[in-house]
Structure 1
């Protein structure tokens, strides 16, 4: 284990997370190489009375991978991965990114539902539920967890699974990092090698018709199909025609994971009905290449980010029109991302979990990303107004894209019944709230228990 203090060389870089808006100064950074290092670091934190922030990939928009005055438990060096292709099982440590995980599993023709951004870490994404393009077919990332190996605040190592500590297993699948430090994940994998997918690029004037077509298509699409839609100011990425570089445009990225001979028919209504795209990049490709279609921007660690995700049961004409009106009125650093839900997500294939809003059919991400002043009202205001306007129709925020850690939004992410169940679990496993730099679920105090 390597320990960094504010006086150590490399401390300033080590304390940073992906979002440049987050500027925290921990008292100590513990770089862990294995589970024994995690045990030692937690013991040191107990002796010094330090709260603990846990960092895997460090990508969460709220900056939960760091803190002021506490200990950062940096797990980014823990990257061991064992794959049993016959059992379709992966045992993974929390420092892996999705790019690293996908590269290894694809050597065996296997995959796990996860985000398309390959720089995101596997740990936080999984603990927050985990939505991915494969989720309509195979469920959330957390639905595919077989076990968690967890280090508790008091130094115990426990395994949570359907058979061991089942209530903790329930809470770790969507309840975030509230209960301890996961040092190993056991994942169920699925056969995936190639997909039919690619970008359909439209000019901004087509946006209302294109998004309605996408919505109507998803309503009857098989579970093997997925979709993401972006309303953005297009960067100069290869799949955007040069005439639309730095111009407002809408991109649909449909995906077909099923039998290849059915793909063209399933995607035909998106490619050939309504406004024709100025560019059609749909093709058969390797899953690993598909995961890299939307890479992180250059200098992304210097970028200020305020992104918030809301889970919607439907995408009405009124919601589409309001989102597009806000997009048209905002500056070039504001964008909207729509992601397909439904399918296996709603069926909870692994049984009940702490991820609550399974009836949502759409994920709506309001994005503000910019360089310069971190608290720029010009950039923040459209994003704040955008997600607030969705509240009358939102089921709740998505924990993995919740930049607002106020208790009311954490409760909204779970709903009343699930939140109260998580409070009881937190009281059992972390009664001193050591792990509070996250979407915090505070333990019930002793006096609250007596009153109850």
Structure 2
């Protein structure tokens, strides 16, 4: 284990997270390479009464992977992955990004529902539930977790699965990083080699109609189909016609994971219906190439980000019009991402988990991304106004896209019953709230038999 402190040459780069809007200075960064390192680093923090933040990929929009004046458990160097093609399972360490994970599993023609951005880490994405394009067919990332090896707040190394600590296993699948430091994940994988997918480009005048067509298409689309729609100012990506670079419009990316011959018919309403896209890049591509369709900007480390996700049970005409009204009024650094949910997510293929908003059929991500002043009202205000406009129709925020740390929003992500169950679980495993740099659920003291009897 390597310890970095202010003044070390590598400290400044190591303290930064993906969102440049977050600029914190920990007292020490512990670069861990094993479970024993994690145990030792936690003991070090306890002996000096240091707050503890945990870093996997460092991509969370709220910047939970760092803190001021505390210890950062940096797990980004823990990248071991072992794939068993016979059992279609993988064991993976928390420092892996999705690009690294996909590269390892695709050697065997296998995949796991995961984040589209290959620079995002697997750990936080999984613990927050985890939505991916394969989720309509195979469930959330966390639905496909079969065990978690973790270090608890008091320094014990344990395994949580369906047989060992089943209540903790329930909470780790969607309850965030509240209960310990996961040092290894066990996953169930699925056969995926190629996908029929690609960008469909619409200019500004077609955006409203294109979104309604996509919405209507999803209602009857099979689970092997998915979709993401981005309303933005188009960057100069190679598959966007040059005359539309830096122009406002929308890009739909439909996907089909089934038989490619069937996919031509399934995707036809989006490709050949009304409005017809001005550019069609749909093709049969390797899954790993598909996952790289939306690369990070080359200087993303300097980019300020305020992104928030809301889960919607429906995408009505009124909601589309409201979102597009916000987009029309905002500047070029504001965008809206709509993603298809439903399918297997709604059916909870792994049984009950702490991710409870399974009735959602869409997620809406409000994005503000810019350079310059970290808290620029010009950029933050339109994003806040947009997600607030969704509150009458949302069934709750998506935990992995929650930049607002207020307890009311964490509560809203779960609903009262699940939140209270998680708070009791927190009391069992982390009664001192050591792991509080996250979408935090404070511990609820357990009630005694005498108290329960009085209430009864």
TM category (shorter chain) comes to over 0.9
> What is the Cα deviation at residue 7 of structure 1?
2.4
Q: Distance in 1 between matches of 2:80 and 2:13?
A: 24
Equivalent position SS for 2:252: strand
In the alignment, which residue of structure 1 is the partner of 2:254? 254
Deviation string for 1:233-280 (max 9, x for gaps)?
000001110010000011100000011220000000111110111100
Equivalent position SS for 1:149: strand
In the alignment, which residue of structure 1 is the partner of 2:231? 231
In the alignment, which residue of structure 2 is the partner of 1:80? 80
In the alignment, which residue of structure 2 is the partner of 1:332? 332
1:414 equivalent to 2:414? Answer yes
1:276-355 matches, cutoff 5 A? 276-355=276-355
Q: Distance in 1 between matches of 2:317 and 2:307?
A: 23
Equivalent position SS for 2:223: coil
TM-score by length of 1: 0.99
Stretches of structure 1 lacking an aligned partner (at least 5 in a row) = none
Deviation string for 1:94-127 (max 9, x for gaps)?
0000000000100000000001100000000000
In the alignment, which residue of structure 2 is the partner of 1:148? 148
1:123-142 matches, cutoff 5 A? 123-142=123-142
Q: Distance in 2 between matches of 1:79 and 1:345?
A: 28
Name the CA shift for 1:446/1:195 in 2 (closer, same or farther; >3 Å). closer
Equivalent position SS for 1:50: coil
Q: Distance in 1 between matches of 2:150 and 2:34?
A: 13
Equivalent position SS for 2:277: coil
Name the CA shift for 1:27/1:242 in 2 (closer, same or farther; >3 Å). same
In the alignment, which residue of structure 2 is the partner of 1:365? 365
Equivalent position SS for 2:394: coil
Deviation string for 1:42-100 (max 9, x for gaps)?
11111111121000000000000000111100000000001100000100000000000
Name the CA shift for 1:450/1:240 in 2 (closer, same or farther; >3 Å). farther
Q: Distance in 2 between matches of 1:277 and 1:196?
A: 17
In the alignment, which residue of structure 2 is the partner of 1:265? 265
Give the root-mean-square deviation of aligned CA atoms: 1.2
In the alignment, which residue of structure 2 is the partner of 1:42? 42
In the alignment, which residue of structure 1 is the partner of 2:59? 59
> What is the Cα deviation at residue 447 of structure 1?
9.5
Q: Distance in 2 between matches of 1:24 and 1:248?
A: 35
* Contact 2:427 2:446 (C-alpha < 8 Å) held by counterparts: no
Equivalent position SS for 1:215: helix
* Contact 2:57 2:95 (C-alpha < 8 Å) held by counterparts: yes
Q: Distance in 2 between matches of 1:446 and 1:415?
A: 20
Q: Distance in 2 between matches of 1:291 and 1:53?
A: 29
Q: Distance in 2 between matches of 1:418 and 1:181?
A: 21
> What is the Cα deviation at residue 449 of structure 1?
10
* Contact 2:312 2:363 (C-alpha < 8 Å) held by counterparts: yes
In the alignment, which residue of structure 1 is the partner of 2:201? 201
Equivalent position SS for 1:218: helix
Stretches of structure 2 lacking an aligned partner (at least 5 in a row) = none
Q: Distance in 2 between matches of 1:70 and 1:426?
A: 21
Equivalent position SS for 2:231: strand
Q: Distance in 2 between matches of 1:274 and 1:184?
A: 47
Name the CA shift for 1:448/1:299 in 2 (closer, same or farther; >3 Å). farther
> What is the Cα deviation at residue 451 of structure 1?
7.2
Q: Distance in 2 between matches of 1:268 and 1:338?
A: 20
Q: Distance in 2 between matches of 1:419 and 1:7?
A: 41
* Contact 2:405 2:439 (C-alpha < 8 Å) held by counterparts: yes
Q: Distance in 1 between matches of 2:138 and 2:305?
A: 30
Equivalent position SS for 1:243: helix
Runs of 4+ in structure 1 over 3 Å off: 445-452
Equivalent position SS for 1:213: helix
In the alignment, which residue of structure 2 is the partner of 1:168? 168
Q: Distance in 1 between matches of 2:446 and 2:131?
A: 36
1:190 equivalent to 2:204? Answer no
> What is the Cα deviation at residue 356 of structure 1?
0.9
Equivalent position SS for 1:132: coil
> What is the Cα deviation at residue 450 of structure 1?
8.9
In the alignment, which residue of structure 2 is the partner of 1:158? 158
1:3 equivalent to 2:11? Answer no
* Contact 2:424 2:446 (C-alpha < 8 Å) held by counterparts: no
In the alignment, which residue of structure 2 is the partner of 1:117? 117
